[in-house]
Structures are given as structure tokens and as C-alpha cells.
Chains A and B, each alone.
Chain A
Amino acid sequence: MNGVIVQDTLRTNWKQTVYWGFGMGILGLYLVAIASSSEIMASYGPLLESLPPAMLNVIGISDVRMFTTTEGMISSGFVTYAMLMLSVYAVTIGLNITTNEEEDGILDIVLSLPITRTQVITEKLIAFALLSLGVIALCIIFPLIGVAIFNVEVNIGKVILSILTVYPGILLIMGVTSLIGTVARRRLTTIGLSAGFIMASYFINFLGNAASESFAATLQQFSFFYYTNGETVILDTFNPLTSIVLIIVASIFAGLSVMMFNRRDIGL
């Protein structure tokens, strides 16, 4: 029956989604509480406005608006790190597509049921994409609760959109982990290679920020962190096309993992 694996995956993994969403949401709420402090905003504002753009770049602020507006503060303090932290979640769900069951020796039993391999992996990918959307939803809801509690003046649309930019990044890592898992099979190898991919992307992004006049700035455009930090939303330079491209790339990785999974033996 179509959709049965989606339902089962949602049923067995919703708790993990709630824990992650709750944890990350609380961090977002904490950031809103900090951003609500007029002392902080007052101390950063005039100071940052007096600094030249090159100086701001050095300390990781591409524009003064990232620290002089509440939505900018939330984005630079929460969304930037949320992508790195949710990378762990994305690897975890990527492992749940095939690797964990294969390593535990139960995937052959799952595949003995009257379902195709394509159906198994595709429905799991869909289910985990929905679950990660749930995590993002909680990441949005908690800061908004903070905005209401602390009576913070903020552009809510920008806050929501900047947090949403993280979602394509999660899908990308999930797709990459799923593909690595279907190729490498072993859990530890998959974790190591996925972690390597994330670390390399983070590093490339760091180099691009630190050396904006060198080839590193060009290289930075190959890092998914470059497109998932919410900064462009705050600076009104957000291009939805970048998110769409990330989702397409994630879909390609997912498609490749379906293809690889269909072509090989299952570990017992």
C-alpha cells in the first residue's frame, strides 16, 4: 500500500522531531530574550555603524543591519548556528533511511515484505523531509512566542523566512548522508564521510568570510552554509533561486541513493 512507510516512519520518529525542535526552539527563544534587551541593541548600534565594512567582515558581520536590528540579531545569533547544529539532526535522519536498518541486520526482513526498494527509500525520504519541516516549524514557533512574551518589535516575516532558509540545507545533508549510506553501507563510515562533508563546507565558508579578496570567496559559493544562514533575508538580498537550487541538488542526491540502493545486495 502506498504511503504506509511514510506513515510508519512518521509514527516511529515523531518524538525525535519534537525533541530537536523543542531544543532548538528554546535556543531561539533565549536569543529573542537577549535581543529584547534595549541595552544590547543600544550598545551595538552606534558602535557598529561607526565601523568600516571591511572591519565588519573580519568579525563575521557582513552588514551593520545584522546587529542593529532585532531580526538581524536573531538571525546572526541563532540561524547561523542553527544550520551547523541541525546538520547533526540531518545526518541522524539520513542514517535512518537505510544505514541503521542495514547495520542492525533487519533491512532484509523489511525488503521481504511486498514493497519495492524504491518505495522503501522514497517514502522514507519523504517522511524525513516532512519531519525536518516539523523541526523547522518548532524553530520558528518558539522565537515567535518569545517575540510575544518579551514584546519585541521585529519584522516577523523576515525572522520566519531567515529560519526557513535552513530547511534546504537539512534536505541536502539528508540526501548526501542517504547516498553515502547506500554506497558505503557501514554506519561508522557513513557518519565519518557525512561529517567530513559538513566540516569541509563549514571550513570553506569560514575561509570565504575571512579572506573576501581571495579565491576563497569564490570557493565559498560551493558551501551550502553560504546559502543557509538567513543573512540574505535580513539584508533584503535573498534570492529564492538559491534555496530552490539547494533543494534540486538534494533531490539529485536522493535520486542517486535510490538508484544505488536498487543496484546492490543488502547486508545481512
Chain B
Amino acid sequence: MRGSIFIETLKQTWKQMLYWGLGLASMGLLIVLMVPVFDMQQMSELLKNLPPIMLAMIGVGKDLDLFATAEGFVAIGFFGKFALIFAVYPVVMGMRITANDEDDGIMDMVLSLPVQRAWVILERFAAYTVTIIGVVAMIYIGMSVGVAFSSVELNMPALAAVIIMLIPVLTFVMAFTMLTATIVRRRQVAFGIITAFVVASFMIQTVGAMAEGTFAEPIGWISFFTYYNAGHILANGLTATHIVSLLALSLVLIGLSIQRFEQRNIGI
């Protein structure tokens, strides 16, 4: 029956979603509660005099007014610095789509049921995407609770854009993980490759921002983290081309995963 794998996957994953969501939401809550004691609060005027190279290093771009606000610091300090941490969740979930079952030798049992391989991948991917949305929603709720219980005034709609942008980025990471797992089969190898991909992307983006004007800057554009620039999103809102590009790339990766998974033998 269509949708049964989707529902079963959600049943098996809702606890993990809750744990991850609560953990990250607690961080968001604490960040908001601690805004009044951040050093940043005394620095707004000074920041306005910073030259472009320094702004690039911080990840702010040229729109400094927003960075001098509480939500600016939360967005750039928290969402910018924790991008690598956020990427762990879609990697863990992406490994569950095929790699874990195949490595445990139970994928052949799953596929002995009257379900098509393509639907196994599609329904699992859809279910884990729902959990990503759940985790992201919990981060937003955590921060909103923090705002409600403190005297901090945060522009939550602006922060919501930064939080929402996590969804296409994390979905892309999960799709890449899934494709890697369907190609290499073995969990440890897939995990190694995806870790290298995420880590290299993060370093390329970080160094690219630090070394504005050198060869590292254009190289930085190949990193998917470049399209999760919290400062830029806060200043200019969501960029439709970034979202569409990431989602389109995810669709391509899903298509390739299905093609690869349908054409090969299953490890037992």
C-alpha cells in the first residue's frame, strides 16, 4: 500500500526527531535568553565602522545594521557557526534510507515485500524530510519560547527566514548522503565519503570568506554552505534562486539514487 513505508518510517523516527529537535531547540532557547549578556550588545556602533573584509570574515556582507541587532548576532553567531552541527542530522537520516538496512543485511527482506524499490527510497526520503521540517520547527519554537520568557526583542519573522533556509540545505545533504549510500553500499565507506564532502564544503566556505580577493573566494562558491549565509538571509530575506537550486539539485540526486538502487544487486 502506498504510504505505508512513509508512515512506518515516521513511526520509527519520531523519537529521534524529538531528541534532536529538543536538543537544538534548547540551544536556541539558551541563546535567546543570553542575548542581554553577549558582548555584542556593547559593540553595535563599533561594528558599523568595520571595513568590508572584516564583514566578509564574520559572514555579514555589507548590511551591517542587522548584524548590530540581537537577531543579527543570533543568526550569524548561532546559525552561522553551527551549520556544521546542523548537517549531522540529515547525514544520520540519509544513512537510514538504504545504507543501514543493507549493511545490517535486512534490505533484501524489506524488498521481498510487494513494494517497488523506487517507492522505498521515495517514501523514506519523504518521511525523513518531514522529520527535518519537524526539527527545524522545534528550533523556531525554542527561540520563540525564549523570546516569550525574556525581555529580549527579536525580529522573529527575519529569524524565521534563516531557520526556514535550513530545510532545503539539510534536504540537499540528506539527498547527497542517500546517493552516496546507494552507490557505495557499505555504511562505513558511505559515511566516510559524506563526512569528507560536508567537512570540505564547510572549510571551503569558511576559508573563502576569510580570504576575500584571493583564489579561495571563487572556490567558496562551490560549497553548499555558501548558500546558507545567515547574515545575507537576515539582510535580504530568502533568495528564491538558492532555494530552488538546492531543491532542484536534491531532486536530481533523488533521481540518480533511484536509478542506481534499481539497477544493482542488494547486499545481503
Q: Are A23 and B214 in contact (CB under 8 A)?
A: no
Q: Which one, B23, B30, B210, contacts A199 given CB within 8 A?
A: B23
Q: Are A81 and B203 in contact (CB under 8 A)?
A: yes
Q: Are A47 and B213 in contact (CB under 8 A)?
A: no
With A16-B192, A31-B207, A195-B88 known as contacts, the answer to whether A207 contacts B34 (CB < 8 A) is: yes
Q: How large is the interface on B (under 10, 10 to 19, 20 to 34, 35 or more residues)?
A: 35 or more
Q: Does chain B have a CB within 8 A of A145?
A: no
Binds A, one of B36-44, B110-118, B138-146: B36-44
CB of A230, distance to nearest CB on chain B (Å) = 16
Q: Does chain A have a CB within 8 A of B147?
A: no
Q: Does chain B have a CB within 8 A of A43?
A: yes
CB of B6, distance to nearest CB on chain A (Å) = 20
Residues of B within 8 A of A148 (CB): none
Q: Does chain A have a CB within 8 A of B109?
A: no
Q: Are A34 and B37 in contact (CB under 8 A)?
A: no
Q: Does chain A have a CB within 8 A of B240?
A: no
A57–B41 Cα gap in the complex (Å)?
13
Q: Does chain A have a CB within 8 A of B126?
A: no
With A203-B27, A206-B81 known as contacts, the answer to whether A40 contacts B211 (CB < 8 A) is: yes
Closest to A207 in B: B34
Residue-wise, chain A 11-54 has the 8 Å CB interface mask toward B (1 for contact) of 00000100110010001001100100101100110010001101
Closest to B191 in A: A92
Q: Does chain A have a CB within 8 A of B157?
A: no
Q: Are A210 and B40 in contact (CB under 8 A)?
A: yes
A24–B216 Cα gap in the complex (Å)?
17
Q: Does chain B have a CB within 8 A of A214?
A: yes
With A23-B200, A54-B39, A211-B37 known as contacts, the answer to whether A77 contacts B19 (CB < 8 A) is: no
A168–B43 Cα gap in the complex (Å)?
35
With A47-B54, A203-B27 known as contacts, the answer to whether A77 contacts B43 (CB < 8 A) is: no
Which of A57, A188, A195 is packed against the most chain B CB atoms within 10 Å? Answer: A195
Residue-wise, chain A 89-110 has the 8 Å CB interface mask toward B (1 for contact) of 0001000000000000000000
Residues of A within 8 A of B19 (CB): 192
Q: Does chain B have a CB within 8 A of A85?
A: yes
A108–B34 Cα gap in the complex (Å)?
49
Q: Does chain A have a CB within 8 A of B256?
A: no
CB of B113, distance to nearest CB on chain A (Å) = 23
Residue-wise, chain A 58-75 has the 8 Å CB interface mask toward B (1 for contact) of 110000000000000000
A206–B83 Cα gap in the complex (Å)?
13
Give the residues from 194 to 229 in chain A that come closer than 8 angstroms, CB to CB, to chain B.
Answer: 195-196, 199, 202-203, 206-207, 210-214, 216
Q: Report B's interface with A, CB cutoff 8 A.
A: 16, 19, 23, 27, 30-31, 34, 37-40, 42-43, 46-47, 51, 53-54, 57-58, 73, 77-78, 81-82, 84-85, 88, 92, 188, 191-192, 195-196, 199-200, 202-203, 206-207, 210-211, 213-214, 216
Q: List 15 A-B contacts (CB under 8 A).
A: A20-B192, A23-B199, A30-B203, A34-B214, A40-B210, A54-B42, A58-B40, A77-B207, A81-B202, A92-B188, A199-B27, A206-B82, A210-B34, A210-B77, A214-B34
